[in-house]
Amino acid sequence: MSLDQEFQQVSGSVRNWKTRPSDSENLALYSLYKQATVGDVNIAAPSGVVESAKFNAWTGRKGISQDDAKQQYIDLAKQLQSKYG
């Protein structure tokens, strides 16, 4: 299975977990997903609290290649699967 295929499969399964990860775990997954699918942040900083937290988490991934972000996302999701899946 290719990296892209595994990423799509794992990201799809994360959406179907029985319980929601903690805020910090969710931000880590979100930021890796955005870095993997979009690349470096390409939007202006938002003003809302939740939006700012997501923006800052994504900004923290700046410079990570999309393939590396996909692999890190897969690794983190697999680690959290037993806890939330």
Distance CA 55, CA 59 (A): 6
Q: What is the pTM of this model?
A: 0.94
Full set of structural domains in the chain with CATH: 3-7+24-84 (1.20.80.10)
Return per-residue pLDDT of the chain as tens, 85 residues: 999 999 999 999 999 999 999 999 999 999 999 999 999 999 999 999 999 999 999 999 999 999 999 999 999 999 999 999 8
Residue 59, both tokens? 């900004």
Residue 53, both tokens? 């937290």
